Amino acid sequence: EPEVTQTPSHQVTQMGQEVILRCVPISNHLYFYWYRQILGQKVEFLVSFYNNEISEKSEIFDDQFSVERPDGSNFTLKIRSTKLEDSAMYFCASSVVRVMGQPQHFGDGTRLSIL
Amino acid sequence: ILNVEQSPQSLHVQEGDSTNFTCSFPSSNFYALHWYRWETAKSPEALFVMTLNGDEKKKGRISATLNTKEGYSYLYIKGSQPEDSATYLCALSFGNEKLTFGTGTRLTIIP
């Protein structure tokens, strides 16, 4: 069964450094998402992406964050200058269409640790 | 702020017993409710997506019901097995793409 893949599984970065989290969505999916879960908290929506542009973003997704689909397969999340509070599990998801009743398919996540 | 609540937060169930837990949400502007099963170190796995009041869905020993008018969904597991141990997440969408998640119910099956 096709799946969403994320790399790396764990990233350790010094505060203030840039980090890029990578995702390969399911190949025929058109909608892409990033979520994160800070330890002990709920999974939170960050951003959705369709047709090469952001379709929705949360308050968390400020100017330090950006997303890109640099080629036909990868979908990346960049954090320009990481802060301690960016430490979390980051999940990529994709869905085939944006219609009622369709699930989003998640990757295994990247655990980001900011030192 | 939209609040999706799940209860209980954690649950220990004897193998072979049946169990259920709840997802509660504001009933206005409901669009779709999603249930996910999330095992440690794996990706959340989509179980059900429900959209209509009174919806019931079933996948093997797991089933779910939806009441949009009163704002709740139940997830049932019949004859629990050790492999059912996981965190069960519910999430709602309200006419847009983003999912708003509850805190999850952490289920542990005791052999």
CA distances in angstroms from B71 to B28, B47, B82, B92, listed in the order given: 8, 19, 30, 11
3-state secondary structure of B22: strand
Work out the minimum CA distance from B40 to partner chain A, whole angstroms: 9
What confidence score (pLDDT) does residue B2 get?
Answer: 75
- Output the pLDDT for position B41: 86
Q: With contacts defined as CB-CB under 8 Å, which chain B residues touch A95?
A: 97
Q: Are strands B86-93 and B105-110 parallel, antiparallel or unpaired?
A: antiparallel
Of B42, B45, B97, the CB nearest to A56: B97
A44 contacts on B by Cβ (under 8 Å): 101
Give the span between the Cα atoms of A60 and A58, in whole angstroms: 5
Q: What are the phi and psi torsion angles at B82 (to 5°)?
A: -55, -35
Q: What is the pLDDT of residue B1?
A: 64
Per-residue model confidence as pLDDT tens digits over A53-95: 999 999 999 999 999 998 878 999 999 999 999 999 999 999 9
What's the one-letter identity of residue B61? R
What was the pLDDT predicted at B72?
94
Map residue B103 onto helix, strand or coil: coil
Instruction: Confirm or reject contact between A7 and chain B (CB < 8 A).
Output: no
Both tokens of A12, joined, read 């350790």
Between the alpha carbon of residue A39 and those of residues A86, B47, B49, B85, B103, the distances in Å are 11, 23, 26, 19, 11
Whole-number Å distance between alpha carbons of B70 and B53: 10
Please give the pLDDT value at position A74.
Answer: 93
A-B C-beta contacts closer than 8 Å: 58
Residues of chain B with pLDDT under 50: none
| A100 lies within 8 A of chain B by CB | yes
Q: Are B15 and B111 in contact (CB under 8 A)?
A: yes
What digits encode the pLDDT tens for the residues A4-28? Answer: 999 999 999 999 999 999 999 998 8
Which residue type is seen at B47? L
Cβ–Cβ under 8 Å, residues B19 and B76: yes
Interchain proximity A104–B46, CB inside 8 Å: yes
Cβ A105–B99 below 8 Å, yes or no? no
